[in-house]
Amino acid sequence: MAPTFIVMLGPPGAGKGTQAKQLAQRMNLVHVSTGDLFRDNLKNETELGVLAQQYMNKGELVPDDVTVRMVEERLSRPDCEEGAVLDGFPRTPAQAEALDDLLAEMGSAVKVVPYIKVPDDVLVERLSGRWMSPSGRVYHEKYNPPKVKWIDDIDGSQLYQREDDKPETVRHRIEVYNEQTSPLIAYYRDKGLLVEIDGTQSIELVTEDLTKAVEEA
Ligand code: ADP
Ligand code: ADP
């Protein structure tokens, strides 16, 4: 069977990561988050991590060529043979075109693009209450709290708040999204791949809508 590539679209804080992780698990696909990949590089102090950090801390996008090269390398690994759930990529029209080319080379194409829609004011609250586990699991102090405050449910590690989840940086990230990423809504709608999902619902209801959207595709 041809591999299945799903692109999760939506502003920062929409719930892409939360949903992408579950979706990938249910569909037996790999979850590829460019944010997580950059953060891993940062933790391991690689050259790529050092470069990316300058952009991430300011809430700017890492340049397209660097980002595309990283994704190309990730998708070429054997665990992506069946496909992947892409989270946080593409984020610019140039990245979307590069992804189309990359998948075409693999004899594949984007299958469906769930677009999780959430208004800006909700995003700020979501991101300022986001608690991260070093493993990449995502919690929210109010909407998805861990069993014990600041402790990961699964491996007991200490949760932290992302440096770029400060309100000033969040506001800038939303602007960057509106300017550079939101054109992808039309890009994928024109290709007939976009499915809009109301991201203001509870995590469980978003999961239900997302599952339906992917099954129908
Ligand atoms: P993204 O990957 O799109 O930036 P996340 O999945 O990291 O978004 O979610 C942002 C924050 O909002 C997290 O703290 C997460 O627990 C919380 N969250 C995700 N989905 C919902 C939802 N449907 N309702 C309330 N909070 C949510
Ligand atoms: P969020 O979950 O809030 O949407 P991410 O974890 O996806 O944020 O991304 C964090 C940061 O990593 C971004 O603000 C940006 O600096 C960088 N980044 C992630 N993905 C990309 C991408 N596709 N292109 C450029 N920069 C990216």
Look at residue 135 in the predicted model and tell me its pLDDT: 87
Catalytic residue among 39, 74, 91, 137: 91
- For 197, phi then psi, to 5°, come to -130, 135
List all residues whose CB is within 6 A of at least one atom of ligand 1. 10, 12-18, 126, 129-130, 138-140, 143-144, 201-203, 206
Q: Alpha-carbon distance 52 to 73, whole Å?
A: 16
In tens, the pLDDT along 150-167 reads 999 999 999 999 999 998
Does 173 qualify as catalytic in the annotation?
Answer: yes
- Segment 45-74 shows an average pLDDT of 96
Distance 17 CA to ligand 1 centre (A): 7
Q: Give the residue from 89, 79, 90 showing the smallest Cα distance to 30.
A: 79
Q: How far apart are CA 72 and CA 3, in angstroms?
A: 15
CATH number of 4-118+181-216: 3.40.50.300
Name the residue among 162, 211, 192 with its Cα closest to residue 42.
162
What does the pLDDT look like over 71-114, one tens digit per residue? 999 999 999 999 999 999 999 999 999 999 999 999 999 999 99
| Domain extent listing, the chain | 4-118+181-216
Which atom of ligand 1 is the closest one to the Cα of 129? 14
Question: Helix, strand or coil for residue 133?
Answer: coil
Residue nearest ligand 2's atom 18 by CA: 35
Of 86-90, 132-136, 212-216, the one with minimum mean pLDDT is 132-136
Q: What is the mean pLDDT of the segment spanning 168-179? A: 95
Which is the closest atom of ligand 2 to the Cα of 12? Answer: 4
